[in-house]
Chain A
Amino acid sequence: MKVGVVTFPGSLDDGDARRAVTLAGGEAVALWHADADLRGVDAVVLPGGFSYGDYLRCGAIARFAPVMSEVVRAAEGGMPVLGICNGFQVLCESHLLPGALVRNDHQKFVCTDQRLRVEQTGTAWTSSFTAGQEITIPLKNGEGGFVADAATLDRLEGEGRVVFRYLDGNPNGSLRDIAGISNERGNVVGLMPHPEHAVEELFGPGLDGLGLFTSVLSAGLGAIA
């Protein structure tokens, strides 16, 4: 299964994301922001970083990159898409996911090993986990506060679209401790923490991040609902 990883100007974690795909057993394909071409991939990861310098708003300019029109089209057709950190911001700016990410309420950059609860295992990116499983993966952001209006938050909760929730305190002011969400269909997932940094022994806090990448590989084998 081919998993594309988009590189925007200012992406930082595209290399790690490709490495995570490979370690999970998939074939990583580098995608370029300026090419409106997904090169035949079966899933796409929008990696972390500071695309376009975070100018205007985080993810706001990346949203209009040529590759994104293809990503949006594919996502609407059911292709699994994962947005990590800056990638989550791009998904929100693209309206593939609701809400927005704003500056951390405490005004400081946060970089820590973060405990999370997997709230939803019915997505293309979380089927390898068990419901309620607690995992630890790195979190590093300056603008990671998830916000949406109350009606949207209620809908996300009611439809089981809160995929990850922060444990042990809220690191960035995200409403209802939300760390990650999905679209209605469950093929598009965005989260602020970085699973691609927890896929190898001796690097990062463990192997808990690998589950997202193994999940999408099994989704590619026809397991997706």
Chain B
Amino acid sequence: MGRVVIDVMPKPEILDPQGKAVVGALPRLGFDRFTGVRQGKRFELEVEGEVTPEVLEQARRAAETLLSNPVIEDVVSVREASGGRDDAGAGADA
């Protein structure tokens, strides 16, 4: 089974109140080195079999039509999950 990982972020010029709330909470726990937080979304799309170029293309179109709103968000990455630490399945880095 293959998996495609899609990252969506709020556009830089759009205020991100969730990120603002998080950056406000960090120093209260002693994490005092972070001056800004932007909170985005990560989607993991599972497919039967291999992640072919056609699958990736369809994932890209899904990312641009349903998974993001181009008025307020950017699709920053559409990629096959490598199985490595960065792209481990849900749970491993939750």
Chain A residues in contact with chain B, CB under 8 A? Answer: 56-57, 60, 64, 92-93, 98-100, 102-107, 145, 147-149, 173
Which residues of A have CB within 8 Å of B20? Answer: 107
- List 9 interface pairs A-B (beta carbons < 8 Å), by A numbering: A100-B69, A100-B71, A102-B17, A103-B17, A106-B17, A107-B18, A107-B21, A147-B14, A147-B71
Which of chain A's residues has its CB closest to B24's CB?
A: A107
CA distance A105 to B71 in the complex (A): 17
How big is chain B's contact interface, by range?
A: 10 to 19
Residues of chain B with a CB closer than 8 A to A103's CB: 17-18
Q: Does B66 contact A (CB under 8 A)?
A: yes
Contact partners of B66 in chain A: CB under 8 A: 56, 60, 64
1/0 per residue B14-40: CB within 8 Å of A? 110110110000000000000000000
- B76 contacts A by Cβ under 8 Å: no
User: A218 CB to closest chain B CB, in angstroms?
Assistant: 33
When the two chains form their complex, are residues A107 and B17 in contact, meaning their CB atoms are under 8 A apart? yes
Docked CA distance A37–B51 (Å): 38
Binding site for A on B (CB under 8 A): 10, 14-15, 17-18, 20-21, 66-67, 69, 71-72
Q: Which 4 A-B residue pairs are closest in the complex by CB-CB distance?
A: A100-B71, A107-B17, A103-B17, A100-B72
Q: Write the chain B residue with the least CB distance to A58.
A: B69
Cα–Cα distance between A22 and B77 once the two chains are bound (Å): 49
Known A-B contacts A107-B20, A107-B21; A145 and B15 likewise in contact (beta carbons under 8 Å): yes
| A161 CB, min distance to chain B CBs, angstroms | 16
B18 neighbours in A (Cβ, 8 Å) = 103, 107
Q: Which partner residue on chain B sits nearest A107 by CB separation? A: B17
Return the contact of A147 from the options B21, B67, B72 (Cβ within 8 A). B72
Given contacts A56-B66, A107-B20, contact A173 B15 (CB under 8 A): yes
Tell me the nearest residue of chain B to A57, going by C-beta: B69
Decide: B72 and A102 in contact? CB cutoff 8 A. yes
CB of A205 to closest CB in B, whole Å: 27
Chain A: which residue is nearest B15 at the CB level? A105
- Do A148 and B69 have beta carbons less than 8 Å apart? no
Which of A92, A104, A106, A107 contacts B71, CB < 8 Å?
A92
**Closest Cβ of chain B: how far from A92's Cβ, in Å?**
7
